[in-house]
Amino acid sequence: AIHTARKYGFTRAMALSEYARRHPTMNPFKKGGCEKDGKVITTGIKERWNENFRAVLVFTDPQDFFEALQIVTDVLLSSRPGEQEFEPSHRIPIVFSNPDLLWKTQYAHARFGQGAFRLSLEACYKARMQAMGLNRE
């Protein structure tokens, strides 16, 4: 997916997994520790929030659905999610390569596709905006 993004001209493309590795505290449910279980996630490095994304491209279904929802929502709300929860002037597009809600596999019934992630993301984004007292779409 990174190679495809670069072919489209996104020369500084980054996979979600790379972003999660750079910012391990964004997902409290990673294997390294879970804050709700009293574990503290320590990285030993100061996180730098300087990626300055100009778009989010979704080429495939996320391997970790929760992590993808959390991180993509954070990145859509702020260019520096670890420093500022919401930036009113921060607006970047998100593009999905496949809108299919359902697709056929070897399983007897249709399975959820990338469209299910899009719908989930939209619902989470809207709920997060409402939780912050904002009703912006």
pLDDT of residue 93: 95
Predicted TM-score (pTM) of this structure: 0.86
At residue 112, φ and ψ (nearest 5 deg) are -65, 140
Distance CA 117, CA 65 (A): 8
Whether the Cβ atoms of residue 25 and residue 33 lie closer than 8 Å to each other = no
Q: What is the DSSP letter of 89?
A: T
CA torsion sign, 55 to 31 to 83 to 70?
A: positive
Question: pLDDT (tens digit, 9 = 90+) per residue, 51-71?
Answer: 889 899 999 999 999 999 999
Higher pLDDT, 46 or 6: 6
- Which residue(s) pair with 57 in the sheet? 95
18-46: per-residue pLDDT in tens?
999 888 888 877 765 556 566 665 666 67
